[in-house]
Amino acid sequence: MNAPNALTMSRVALVPVLAIALAKGNLNFALAVFALGMATDVLDGHIARTRGPITDFGKLMDPIADKLFVGTAFICLAALDRIELGVVAVILSREVAVSGLRYVAKKRGTVISADGLGKAKTGLQTLTIAMLLYVTQPFTAEAQLLVMVTTFVTILSGMSYFMAYATAPEVSRRDSIEPASSPG
């Protein structure tokens, strides 16, 4: 267990803490937990990229931890009526679809790396969740504009991954060196 993997697992451990804080309506504490969890995401990625302890465990668990953490936040915010359930369904459907696509791509020997839209999606989702935890009125025009932009970029990002997969050359398993895994 290296430092990036420990940070990833700490994010998984924060999932129930975030859910309980939101279930109790303690938005300030939930915002602090969410900020801490997202800081672990940034930090584990930075350490892994700069110091090189990239592991198969980390490649598998980091995106799972991210999706559990962000997905829990969105589901709880919908339960608190701070975001429309339909929007959350679209966002989570994209995450499931891209995760499934990456699994299929890996079996095919294709690497689908995170692109600019994937990184923008992550940033916007993080900003949206933080904003919905912070504001007292989540259905103002400004808040809803951010939700709409986040949803739009989330959809575009998903489409981008499917287009990348559709245009990627097929590589046989014996020729494939790099496993297909990248967050985003």
pLDDT per position as a tens digit, 36-67: 999 999 998 889 888 877 787 888 888 889 99
Residue position matching structure tokens 């989570």: 92
Neighbours of 36 (CB within 10 A): 14
Tokens (6 digits) for 112: 């689908």
Query: Whole-model pTM?
Result: 0.86
**pLDDT for position 103:** 87
Mind listing the domains of the chain with CATH numbers? 3-167 (1.20.120.1760)
**pLDDT for position 170:** 67
**pLDDT for position 45:** 84
